[in-house]
Amino acid sequence: MTQPRASGILLHPTSLPGPHGLGDLGRRAYEFVDFLVAGGVSLWQILPLGPTGYGDSPYSAFSAFAGNPLLISLEALVACGDLEAQDIAGAELEEGRADFAAARELRKRLLPHAARTFFDRGTAARREAFDAFCLDQAHWLEDYVLFRSLRRQFQEQSWDRWPDEVRRREAAALNRWREELVWELAVVRYAQFVFFEQWFALKAYANEQGVRLIGDLPIFVAPDSADVWSRPDLFHLDDNQRPTRVAGVPPDYFSATGQRWGNPLYRWERLAEENFGWWKERLRWTLSQTDRLRIDHFRGFCACWAIPAEETTATRGEWMPVPGEELFAALQDTFGELPLIAEDLGIINEEVEALRDRFGLPGMKILQFAFDSGPDNPYLPHNLPRNCLVYTGTHDNATTLGWWRDLAEPARRQVVAYLGRENPQIPWDLIHLAIFSVADSCILPLQDVLGCDDRARMNRPGHPENNWSWRYLPEDLAPELAARLREMNRISGRCRDD
């Protein structure tokens, strides 16, 4: 898919400023859009929006369809009348790093109160919108609200530890719980309604300003999710609904034992029998929330590394073929030209490249990977194709300043030689390379634009703790910074209105 030259910023909403524990979909999100517009930036890339579980990773969600209630703006609930100003008075938390636990407790206390107000006194228009949302999204919403309500009922245990009749979804047991948990189900429905009410309002504002949103779709789903509980037939599970094969990547020069992610693998033959209906519903709903969509671990649509569930490392896995061409052909038949981006990083073979190119999907190029070999390195700017997105780094990498400070001397010499200056100004020299490259799209993590060191790193793969918590401060988005970006975007032909 041909795209106009554009630049973008990578920033997950949790990294926005805000008074209630972490970034949300309120006023600061709109101010961030305004900053993008001032900088001539027309793309905002985010991470997955699903409800996070253990570790607060957006790549491990309780649902592939639901939104994260931690992103609900409490101030926006006051503005629409579901909360009173005094309800959130004194609830402000310290700005700075995200405090997921505090944000969770605050919303756990206030969302039921807001739901009661909405159901008792909500306007007719919003009540009609709520009813329409519940009807339109019932195919995933009803299983999700029951899943979350039952999970709370069973002390937040994983669903494979629930009583047998509930774990196996026996109709009589589920109907009994639906009757007993009427109010709890209503609160979860309300939380999903207001999340998407706020999200679609933010998306409309961004689009009106000429900013397009790039979403993120993990290929796999979490084992402890409404998706696996509600459709166990789509996954490799045993008679006790526990995974028999799990996802990961094989040993490589990064890890002698590979990576064991633990996500259950799909029964692709079952998905194909239904003409990939589950994937079509997932893509339809996710694409409605964004303008383009990055597909995480694209390599897994050719073959995935299947690890026996009892193994503690990824060393004894094997490649399992995946009907990726059939899947994307079915998606293309349904949606037409696919506004997708292939996350094609790592060790990619010709089969993966052929699948990507068969459907015209742009890949990703990371400048931090460009200086560990010679002039044929595919990430160097002079080797980039137009149909790609170039990044200084991603959420899984060090910040560019942190990368530079830790870079080995041979690679440093390559950077100096390539830039043609003895004292590189990092990260801005790499930002300059990205923006002035031939790539159709250039994406910069906000941490690089702000010149942050590795204390601002978003994620360290393989380290499950202390991730996802970086946030910027309101004063960081200075007008001078927007002006600097706008000038670079203007000269490089990426400015949307110049």
SS3 235: strand
DSSP E strands in 196-297: the ranges are 212-217, 245-249, 259-264, 292-295
Structural domains in the chain, CATH included, are 6-491 (3.20.20.80)
Residue 221 tokens read as 């789903």
Which sign does the torsion angle of CA 84, 90, 94, 99 carry? negative
Sort 161 into a burial class: Cβ within 10 Å, 0-12 / 13-18 / 19+.
Answer: exposed
Show the tokens assigned to 26. 């309120």
pLDDT score recorded for residue 398: 96
How far from 293 is each of 48, 285, 362, 479, CA to CA, in Å? 10, 11, 11, 29
Q: Compute the distance between CA of residue 450 and CA of residue 458 in angstroms, rounded to an integer.
A: 14
Q: Kindly list the catalytic residues.
A: 296, 343, 396
**The two three-digit tokens of residue 114, written as one number:** 């807001």
Amino acid at 126: R
Exposed / middle / buried, residue 196 (Cβ in 10 Å: 0-12, 13-18, 19+): buried
Q: pLDDT tens-digit profile of 7-39? A: 999 999 999 999 999 999 999 999 999 999 999
- Here the tokens at position 4 are 């106009």
Report residues of the chain scoring pLDDT below 50.
none
| pLDDT for the residue 410 | 93
pLDDT at 181: 98
pLDDT digits (tens, 9 = 90+) for 200-238: 999 999 999 999 999 999 999 999 999 999 999 999 999
Where are the alpha helices (H) located in 303-408, listed in sequence order? Answer: 324-335, 350-358, 400-406
Distances (CA, A) of 168 to 86, 160, 225, 230, 288: 44, 9, 14, 9, 32
pTM above 0.75, yes or no: yes
- 247, 305 in Cβ contact below 8 A? yes
CA distance 467 to 55: 8
DSSP alpha helix (H) spans, 209-293 = 226-230, 268-273, 277-289
Enter the tokens of residue 174. Answer: 């589920």
Q: What is the DSSP string of 55-123?
A: GG-TTSBS-SS---GGG--HHHHHHTTSS-HHHHTT----SSS--HHHHHHHHHHHHHHHHHHHHHH--
